[in-house]
Amino acid sequence: MNAEHPPVRLTTVSKNYGDKIALRDVSLDIGPGGVTALLGPNGAGKTTMVKLMLGLAAPTSGTVTLFGNDPRHTASRSRIGAMLQVGKVPETLRVREHIDQFRSYYPSPMTANDVFAAAGLQGLEGVKFGDLSGGQRQRVLFALAICGNPQILFLDEPTLGFDVEARRSFWEQIREFVARGRTVLLTTHYLEEADALANRIVVIDHGSIIADGTPTEIKQHVSGRKIRCTTTLSETDLRAIPGVTTVSFDRGNAELVVTNAESVTRELLWNDATLSNLEVSGIQLEEAFLALTHAREAA
């Protein structure tokens, strides 16, 4: 294996759409192996990054390579699979026909039956795309992405609109794929998804990488704890307490991410005698992520 050519490499990549900056000076190597999650709010630049990696868009400056080559080369594209956000897929073709068509593009595709099994499409082979449910449609797009037997799989918001059960079974399919030694890169704004699947999380906001590490490391980026309570204090009052990093409200409960739980708790109880339902807990990926992106907005 040639260590100089990782499956995906971005070198000082910037991308502008007109005068709008989508990515600024991003450098990133991905794989081989494992699941990397690009995590960030909508409009952070995740999809732009995937488009650059797939050769569907060119960087304004910097270089993007797949296995050391131009992503647009047929040889590069034969080794990858991509599940993108699609508005409309031809609805009159049957599942079997869609798979057959995409298998014809690749030099050594999976057998159709292996594709149906890996994507959980057994029993749906003869159904027209237009007659499938939303989750089944996503599974067909996943099947199209894996049918060429790719070494890297790109998944752009793969579980958008899934219910909990569908999301979990989809995660299982991705884990099986990775277990065979393949590389997966997925974008998501579901923190739970990144935490459950990824062994590496790259946090993107406003076109820049603001954190990169294992889920545990990302959580450590924000030292501190979370306080939940029911309080009559206003958001402004809460923000004024020293040690409070972020404030949010969830069904009447205040949620604070704090650097020093003890002093903040003392201050809270002193300021609001009616305070109830006090809970202090460790930080979750979600809070770490919010703190990371908010810190940048404040800067």
State yes or no: residue 207 binds another protein (CB under 8 A): no
- Which x/- pattern over 58-97 shows residues binding another protein (rule: CB under 8 A)? x--------xx-----xx-xx-xxx-xxxxxxx-xx---x
Q: Is 23 in the site for another protein (CB under 8 A)?
A: no
Between CA 111 and CA 247 the distance in angstroms is 52
Near another protein by CB under 8 A: residue from 9, 23, 30, 31: 31
Please count the residues of this chain forming the interface with another protein, following the rule CB under 8 A.
56
Q: Which stretch binds another protein (CB under 8 A): 100-108, 161-169, 258-266, 268-276?
A: 100-108
Minimum CB distance to another protein smaller for 3 or for 164: 3
* 158 near another protein (CB under 8 A): no
* Contacting range for another protein; rule: CB under 8 A; set: 36-44, 179-187, 228-236, 257-265: 179-187
- In the set 183, 187, 231, 245, which binds another protein (CB under 8 A)? 183
Q: For another protein, which residue of 40, 45, 55, 158 counts as binding (CB under 8 A)?
A: 55
**Can you give the length of the chain in residues?**
299
Residue 138 is a binding residue for another protein (CB under 8 A): no
Nearer to another protein, 149 or 188 (CB): 149
Is 261 a residue that touches another protein (CB under 8 A)?
no
Which residues, at least 6 apart from 121, have a Cβ–Cβ distance to it below 8 Å? 95, 115, 136, 139, 140, 143
CA distance linking residue 181 with residue 184, whole number of Å:
10
By CB under 8 A, which span of 102-110, 207-215, 220-228, 282-290 interacts with another protein?
102-110
Is 21 one of the binding residues for another protein (CB under 8 A)?
no
**DSSP string spanning the chain?**
--TTS-SEEEEEEEEEETTEEEEEEEEEEE-SSEEEEEE--TTSSHHHHHHHHTTSS--SEEEEEETTB-TTSHHHHTTEEEE---S---SSSBHHHHHHHHHTTSSSPPPHHHHHHHHT-TT-TTSBGGGS-HHHHHHHHHHHHHTT--SEEEEESTTTT--HHHHHHHHHHHHHHHHTT-EEEEEES-HHHHHHH-SEEEEEETTEEEEEE-HHHHHHTS-SEEEEEE----HHHHHHSTTEEEEEEETTEEEEEES-HHHHHHHHHHH-TT-EEEEEEEPPHHHHHHHHHHHHHH-
10, 30, 35, 57: which one binds another protein (CB under 8 A): 57
CB of 182 to another protein, least distance (A): 5
Whole-number minimum distance, CB 44 to another protein, in Å?
Answer: 18
Q: Does residue 54 bind another protein (CB under 8 A)? A: yes
Element (DSSP H or E) covering residue 203 = strand 200-205
Residues that bind another protein (CB under 8 A): 1-2, 5, 7, 17, 31-33, 51, 54-58, 67-68, 74-75, 77-78, 80-82, 84-90, 92-93, 97, 100-102, 104-111, 114, 128, 141, 144, 148-149, 151-152, 154, 181-183
